[in-house]
Amino acid sequence: MSLIELLQADFFYFAILAGSGLALVAGPLGSFIVWRRMSYFGDTLAHSALLGIAVGLMTDSNPQLSIIVSCLLLALLLSILDKRPTLSSDTLLGILAHSSLAIGVLILALSRSQRVNLEAYLFGELLTVAGSDVLWILLVVAAVSALLLRYWNELLSITVHAELAEIEGLKVAKLNLLLIMLMALTIAISMKIVGVLLITSLLIIPPAAARYLAKTPEKMAFYASGIGIFSVLLGVLLAFYLDTPVGPSIVVLAALVFFCLATVAKE
């Protein structure tokens, strides 16, 4: 397929629209993940997405809806268990991450009537995104963006100093739950774009790179979205020319931007 034919193909625009939409919301949301050092938390939610796929196949329900429900339920479970001091947070996250991934793989293996391309779910398959997938993604992106705009100052306050924010009257527990749910929604819709194993990378690398450019939280979120969109656009074209997987290509480009900025950044 030539470049002209690619530019005339519907799947190309579906891929760009879906990937750019995700990158747009992943910038500010990923900034909170970086600020609060929640990367392992996001990784745990990403692993639960495969369990959602497996449950969707078993129940013959909408795969995208089952992924969203699975991620939201695990996010709620994590927020509940994290309040109990029996286990440390990293131990709890490790248990839930690997157990949910293993359960999902076992269910898929036992579903002999269903043929599943496991590699597509693990590493993403952006160029197979259909119009219905784009609709799901844009609806979730719009909802997450609206909530982030509405509660940006509150979420920033509890991130900077949770105790002081609580003294000022903010409901820290509810705001933390809101942030976790927004993470779960974003991770759920991004599974088909970059896959289970790369979702957290797209949420973390652009904001980490943006830290070298921004002097305010708002600018960091804005630059992170820009770096993400740039990585998506160039990653799709690079994958087309080199015949490489799209998801990893996007993440590698984002990583290159990060290392370039980290190299030239002033101490």
The percent of residues above 70 in pLDDT, for the chain, comes to 86
User: Regarding predicted confidence, which is higher, 21 or 46?
Assistant: 21
Has residue 127 got a pLDDT over 90?
no
Lowest mean pLDDT among 19-28, 43-52, 149-158, 243-252: 43-52
Q: What is the pLDDT of residue 185?
A: 84
pLDDT digits (tens, 9 = 90+) for 132-158: 778 888 888 899 999 999 999 999 998
Distance between the two ends of the chain, CA-based, in angstroms?
Answer: 46
Q: What is the pLDDT of residue 73?
A: 82
Has residue 103 got a pLDDT over 90?
no
Has residue 7 got a pLDDT over 60?
no
At the topology level, CATH places domain 3-261 in: ABC transporter involved in vitamin B12 uptake, BtuC (1.10.3470)
Has residue 6 got a pLDDT over 60?
no
Query: Residue 5: pLDDT band by 50, 70, 90 thresholds?
Result: low
Give the predicted TM-score (pTM) of the model.
0.84
Tokens of 21: 């939409």
- How is the chain split into domains, by residue range? 3-261
Lowest mean pLDDT among 6-10, 44-48, 208-212, 253-257: 6-10
